[in-house]
Amino acid sequence: MKSNNLTADDQKFLKRLGQKIKSIRAKKGWTLEESEEHGWGNWQHLQKIESGKNITIVTLRKVAQLYKISLSDLMSGV
């Protein structure tokens, strides 16, 4: 699904998800740049995710693996 096809509800969901991912990173005490030291390939990509960019389920799985949490925990409450 292209980002221009997203509904307002979809966009709100992505914003909430991005905020949650950012919160998890902050709780670990990591900067975006430090996420690369923990296995994330490109901190600018993570920054886009945290700002609400549309992402695939595979990328969500990689985010969960980075933070060593389950996918269900990542999605909980979003």
Query: From first to last of its 78 residues, what are the pLDDT tens digits of the chain?
Result: 454 688 999 999 999 999 999 999 999 999 999 999 999 999 999 999 999 998 999 999 999 999 999 999 999 989
- Structural domains in the chain, CATH included, are 7-75 (1.10.260.40)
**pTM, two decimal places:** 0.87
Would you list the DSSP string of 19-74? HHHHHHHHHHT--HHHHHHTT-S-HHHHHHHHTT----HHHHHHHHHHTT--HHHH
pLDDT of residue 4: 66
